[in-house]
Amino acid sequence: MYELKTLLPQFDITLPTCMYELRNVSLSAGATPGPAAHQIQCSGAAEVESNNTKTGICALDLDILGRQIQHLLKNQDTTAVLERQEKVLKQLEELKAQLGQIRASLGVRVCGKTVQHTTAYHNGGLKEVPLHDVVVNGHPNFIPYALLALKNAWRDLYTIDVKTFTHSTMADIGPAAREFEANLAKVSVNPALPKINVTLIWKNCEHTEMISSPTMYVPIYGEVNIIRYLGRVGPTEYRYENSPLCNEIDAVLDICYQLLRCTTHKSQVAMVRLLDKRLQQQQYFGGDQMSVADIGVYSSLIRMPAITDKDLTPALLAWRKRAKLITKI
Amino acid sequence: MVEEKENTASANTAAGQEPVSKKGAKKQAKAAKKAEQKAGTAAALAADDAAGDNAADHASGRYGLSEMIQSKDKRSEREFVSVPELSSHVGKGLVWVRGRVHTSRSKGKQCFLILRQQSSTVQCILAVGDIISKQMVKFAGNIPKESIIDIQAKPVSVPTRIESCTEQLLELCVEQIFVISQAKAQLPLQIEDASRPENADEADGLNIRVNQDTRLDNRVLDLRTPANQAIFRLEAGVCRLFRDILTEKGFTEIHTPKIISAASEGGANVFTVSYFKDSAYLAQSPQLYKQMAIAADFDKVYTVGAVFRAEDSNTHRHLTEFVGLDLEMAFKYHYHEVLHTIGNTFTAIFKGLRDKYSREIEAVGQQYKVEPFKFLEPPLILEFAEGVAMLREAGIETGDEEDLSTPNEKLLGRLVKAKYDTDFYILDKFPLSIRPFYTMPDPNNPIYSNSYDMFMRGEEILSGAQRIHDPEYLIERAKHHGIDTTKIAAYIESFRYGCPPHAGGGIGMERVVMLYLGLDNIRKTSMFPRDPKRLTP
């Protein structure tokens, strides 16, 4: 056992009268906020140490607690110390629970840590902070079915919590959008899973657009790009940026983007042919695993009522059946 | 004429400054000659006029000052048509119209007169002919603006649109004209000036404005502008929708006393009035009475009535007397039942205004350029903590338990608008420490409370909460806030005989109208505003 030496010489500091004392901000209000002990004895320090290893508590708090323990020790009041310790332990438990909650809400960051790091590396060290609260503006004539498809596909992995609103520029949203809303509401929410909050606003706007934070990021336009974003913040199984299929998936999503912009039936069918070429005899686009590319294609095809089963190849039809089992639209 | 004026002006300056030069003398001579000529023509004109006046007036009896209407005759044979309905009477003969003279100018043998009825205007024409005499044209040209007249006229369609009137496709050929009530020849403000659009960026346009105080001093004239007509019709709409929507939701309208014995909230900013040998106060809020109505089993109540605040603040959004729309509602288990009811009431009011008052909104927009009001359905509800997080993201440092300052409140409004594109939102779960003592604390988190504010265009319009309905707990909370419980004994007493859990809130009608229309001053939406500096008219 040894005694720590104070860094400051033991002066009696006389405070000027123009200053006032700050209130003790520690959670354990009611404890005697006595003057800071100049000497830190080892026992107190050891206790702090042991606490410190249990959880990562804020240093400032411990400092104050340590001082309070010192103060009580000096008074030779062991029962009080015991009580205090009990209280401290209880507070630590509470803190642990709080941290647990935070961890749960940011689940992705914890479980997908490695992925995050590598993307950051690929981006040249840029720090990426996924946003868990986004707004999607969509026109009832161009329903973003991908949200529902992803919600269903990620049922057991990740929660997309969608709240729907109607903007004052839309007098009526129509039956299709209402049905879509009802279907969204049907998917059960598992509170244990990490989640993203999506506010879907039916609005008289030209493009489907996504706004994450007006002060930090520009809006993202197009349903396909929203899928890309969600694919980035969603479960690890659907992150594609580091997979060897990255280029393939991007190419498929780009075709979807073009498909949604086609106005004539002929050009739409041409795009479907391109998709068929990409799919060939695979189970899903880019391999035998469902990916965001499948979500993109599936939701785009729903938005194109002009494309009937006749326009689809047998391979695409078979794929559509497989995808339907997962997307459930 | 212009040239002549210039000449005389230059001649005058020349004469005043230096000995008259040769050129100057010439000019003077020229000017004198012109003046002589002018006098000559004027005399001729006068003679002509006199001759006209003396000549037999074949239109006498078809015009003149009508005797004061004392309800002597019923005159039921005269069928009056309103200006907006005139279009269906084109080519169908004579009609009677009553309205105000908006402008009138006679030019030789013709007189153009614009007749106004509230916000609608129509052009009338009088031309000397078989029916109309010269004297009649002169009479019509001399009617002071804003006088009320009756005319009998024939609506006829016109080949080119009349841009200056609301009835652009027709005009009235007048056959009879009577002045019912004459206005003073000199008006303290011109209606045209008062209704001129406020375009700050249009530099070349006419820039004559009527100052706000002049408007308020002559409110009767000012209220005749199309924008003001629309504002107060819309205000009536807000009240009507508030009543209709709540009545439909099962609310009962109650009337609360305005003279009260004790200050209901705080006590600093109340008006004192003498009450026989004692003194009384003017009610600052009907809250206590709303709550008593709830305790008396009315379940859901609302009230519309005057509210008085003796706050000496001269801002764009404070009045000392305004109309409060207050509601209070008992709920079963969660105050969100009330929150959603209030939120949905607002959305329904906004929708009603959007759908039924589009003409009024457009009329206001003609004068005051503002963006249309946007909202979401169902209304957007954010938690206070989320709002604070949004502010922090924008780089504002604000504490968890700190109230929103006015600039922060506005900034948050802008952030919410940028993200969700809505001018109306609700902020829920305010910190307990910044709310009044009767606010119910949040059972899950002691920092917060079951209270909410609602915002329009970034300004707070409603502040409400779940109230504590348990007398013992109320006393505890009051003591915690350092409030003398003897002073609020009556309030606490009203919960002693059982009271359902309830919540509510109140809004200022003028403020809602101002923010809905995006106007910059609350005095624009109060017909006869009362503020610390104005007690008349």
* Model confidence pLDDT, tens digit, residues A134-193: 899 999 988 999 999 988 888 888 888 899 999 998 888 889 899 999 988 888 878 888
- Which chain A residue is nearest to residue B415, measuring alpha carbons? A214
- Reply yes or no on whether the pLDDT at B275 is more than 80: yes
Strand B424-428 vs strand B380-383: parallel, antiparallel, or unpaired? parallel
- Reply yes or no on whether the pLDDT at A238 is more than 80: yes
Residue A10 — pLDDT band, cuts 50, 70, 90? low
- Reply yes or no on whether the pLDDT at A246 is more than 80: yes
Please indicate whether, in this complex, the C-beta atoms of B419 and A135 are within 8 angstroms of each other. Answer: yes
Please indicate whether, in this complex, the C-beta atoms of B374 and A214 are within 8 angstroms of each other. Answer: no
Residue B53 — pLDDT band, cuts 50, 70, 90? low
**Which stretches does DSSP call E strand in B36-161?**
63-65, 95-107, 110-117, 120-127, 148-157
- Reply yes or no on whether the pLDDT at A105 is more than 80: no
**Which stretches does DSSP call E strand in B292-431?**
300-308, 321-330, 376-377, 380-383, 424-428
Please indicate whether, in this complex, the C-beta atoms of B419 and A211 are within 8 angstroms of each other. Answer: yes
Strand A133-138 vs strand A209-211: parallel, antiparallel, or unpaired? antiparallel
Radius of gyration for the alpha carbons in chain B, expressed in angstroms and rounded: 32
- Cβ-in-10-Å burial (0-12, 13-18, 19+) of B508 comes to buried
**What pLDDT does residue B250 have?**
95
State percent of chain A over pLDDT 70. Answer: 74
Task: Return residues 191-250 of A near B (CB < 8 Å).
Answer: 199, 201, 203, 211, 213-216
Q: How many C-alpha atoms does B197 have within 13 Å on its Cβ side?
A: 13
| Separation CA A105–CA A103 (nearest Å) | 6
Lowest mean pLDDT among B260-264, B275-279, B299-303, B504-508: B260-264
- Reply yes or no on whether the pLDDT at B242 is more than 80: yes
Q: What is the pLDDT of residues A137-150, one digit of tens each?
A: 999 988 999 999 98
CB-CB neighbours of A18 under 10 Å: 5
- Reply yes or no on whether the pLDDT at A11 is more than 70: no
Question: Between B337 and A131, whose confidence is greater?
Answer: B337
CA distance A163 to chain B (A): 10
Is-contact B502 B450, C-beta < 8 A?
no
DSSP letter string over B112-135? EEEEEETTEEEEEEEESSSS--HH
Residue A76 — pLDDT band, cuts 50, 70, 90? low
| Separation CA A33–CA A46 (nearest Å) | 21
Mean pLDDT, residues B125-135 taken together: 90
A135 inside 8 A of chain B by CB: yes
- Which chain B residue is nearest to residue A212, measuring alpha carbons? B419
- Reply yes or no on whether the pLDDT at B35 is more than 90: no
- Reply yes or no on whether the pLDDT at B47 is more than 70: no
**What pLDDT does residue B527 have?**
94
Question: Between A6 and A207, whose confidence is greater?
Answer: A207
**What pLDDT does residue B200 have?**
61
Active site (annotated) includes residue B255? no
Among B373, B375, B419, the residue with its CB nearest the CB of A214 is B419
Mean pLDDT, residues B330-339 taken together: 95
B214-245 per-residue burial string, b: 16 or more CB within 10 A, e: under 16 = ebbebeebbbbbbbbbbbbbbbebbbebbeeb
A302 inside 8 A of chain B by CB: no
The residues, any chain, with a CB within 8 Å of residue A199's CB and separated by 6 or more, are: A133, A134, A135, A136, A162, A163, A165, B380, B420
- How many separate helices (H) and strands (E) can be counted in chain B? 15, 18
Question: Between B446 and A3, whose confidence is greater?
Answer: B446
CA distance A182 to chain B (A): 15
**What pLDDT does residue A156 have?**
85
| Separation CA B343–CA B422 (nearest Å) | 13
CA distance A243 to chain B (A): 33
Among A167, A213, A216, the residue with its CB nearest the CB of B374 is A167
CB-CB neighbours of B518 under 10 Å: 17
Which chain A residues are closer than 8 Å to B444 by Cβ? none
**What pLDDT does residue A166 have?**
92
Which chain B residues are closer than 8 Å to A199 by Cβ? 380, 420
Mean pLDDT, residues B43-62 taken together: 64
- Reply yes or no on whether the pLDDT at B103 is more than 60: yes
Which chain A residues are closer than 8 Å to B354 by Cβ? 168
Q: What is the pLDDT of residues B362-390, one digit of tens each?
A: 999 988 888 899 999 899 999 999 999 88
Which chain B residues are closer than 8 Å to A166 by Cβ? 376-377
- Tokens representing residue B135 in the block: 């004297």
- The ipTM estimated for the assembled molecules is 0.75
Task: Return residues 341-370 of B near A (CB < 8 Å).
Answer: 350-351, 354
- Which chain A residue is nearest to residue B386, measuring alpha carbons? A133
| Separation CA B327–CA B342 (nearest Å) | 8
Q: What is the pLDDT of residues B184-230, one digit of tens each?
A: 989 999 888 888 888 766 665 667 788 889 999 999 999 999 999 99
- Which chain B residue is nearest to residue A137, measuring alpha carbons? B420
From the list B167, B171, B235, B460, the catalytic residue is B460
Bridge partners of B106? B111
In chain A, CATH 1.20.1050.130 covers 130-238
- Suggest the residue from B358, B421, B423, B445 to mutate for an interface test with chain A (most A CBs closer than 10 A): B421
Residue B39 — pLDDT band, cuts 50, 70, 90? low
B93-117 per-residue burial string, b: 16 or more CB within 10 A, e: under 16 = eebebbbbbbbbebeeeebbbbbbb
Fold classification of B226-525 is BirA Bifunctional Protein; domain 2 (3.30.930)
- Reply yes or no on whether the pLDDT at A37 is more than 50: no
Q: Tell me: domain A243-329, CATH 1.20.1050, correct?
A: yes
Residue B6 — pLDDT band, cuts 50, 70, 90? very low
- The structural domains of chain B, with segments of one domain joined by +, span 63-181, 191-222, 226-525
Active site (annotated) includes residue B133? no
Active site (annotated) includes residue B317? yes
CA distance A184 to chain B (A): 16
- Which chain A residue is nearest to residue B423, measuring alpha carbons? A168
CA distance B259 to chain A (A): 41
**What pLDDT does residue A308 have?**
82
CATH H superfamily, domain B63-181:
Nucleic acid-binding proteins (2.40.50.140)
Among A133, A166, A214, the residue with its CB nearest the CB of B418 is A214
Which chain A residues are closer than 8 Å to B375 by Cβ? 167-168
Please indicate whether, in this complex, the C-beta atoms of A167 and B421 are within 8 angstroms of each other. Answer: yes
Please indicate whether, in this complex, the C-beta atoms of A166 and B376 are within 8 angstroms of each other. Answer: yes
Active site (annotated) includes residue B460? yes
- Which chain B residue is nearest to residue A219, measuring alpha carbons? B419
Which chain A residues are closer than 8 Å to B377 by Cβ? 165-168
Collapse the DSSP code of A324 into the 3-class scheme (helix H, G, I; strand E, B; otherwise coil) and give the result.
helix
A10 inside 8 A of chain B by CB: no
Residue B10 — pLDDT band, cuts 50, 70, 90? very low
- Reply yes or no on whether the pLDDT at A118 is more than 50: no
Residue A59 — pLDDT band, cuts 50, 70, 90? low
CA distance A231 to chain B (A): 22
Q: pLDDT averaged over chain A?
A: 77
State percent of chain B over pLDDT 90. Answer: 61
Q: What is the 3-state secondary structure (H, E, C) of A249-287?
A: HHHHHHHHHHHHHCCCHHHHHHHHHHHHHHHCCCCECCE
**What pLDDT does residue B298 have?**
94
CA distance A151 to chain B (A): 22
- Suggest the residue from B340, B347, B361, B376 to mutate for an interface test with chain A (most A CBs closer than 10 A): B376
Which of B176, B173, B132 shows the shortest CA–CA distance to B155? B173
Collapse the DSSP code of B292 into the 3-class scheme (helix H, G, I; strand E, B; otherwise coil) and give the result.
helix
**What pLDDT does residue B12 have?**
46
Question: Between B329 and A284, whose confidence is greater?
Answer: B329
- Which chain A residue is nearest to residue B394, measuring alpha carbons? A215
Among A165, A213, A215, the residue with its CB nearest the CB of B380 is A165
- Domain A130-238 class, CATH top level: mainly alpha
Mean pLDDT, residues B289-317 taken together: 92
Please indicate whether, in this complex, the C-beta atoms of A167 and B373 are within 8 angstroms of each other. Answer: no
B55 inside 8 A of chain A by CB: no
Active site (annotated) includes residue B224? no
Task: Return residues 40-99 of A near B (CB < 8 Å).
Answer: none
- Cβ-in-10-Å burial (0-12, 13-18, 19+) of B523 comes to buried
Residue A18 — pLDDT band, cuts 50, 70, 90? confident
**What pLDDT does residue A123 have?**
46
**What pLDDT does residue B15 have?**
43
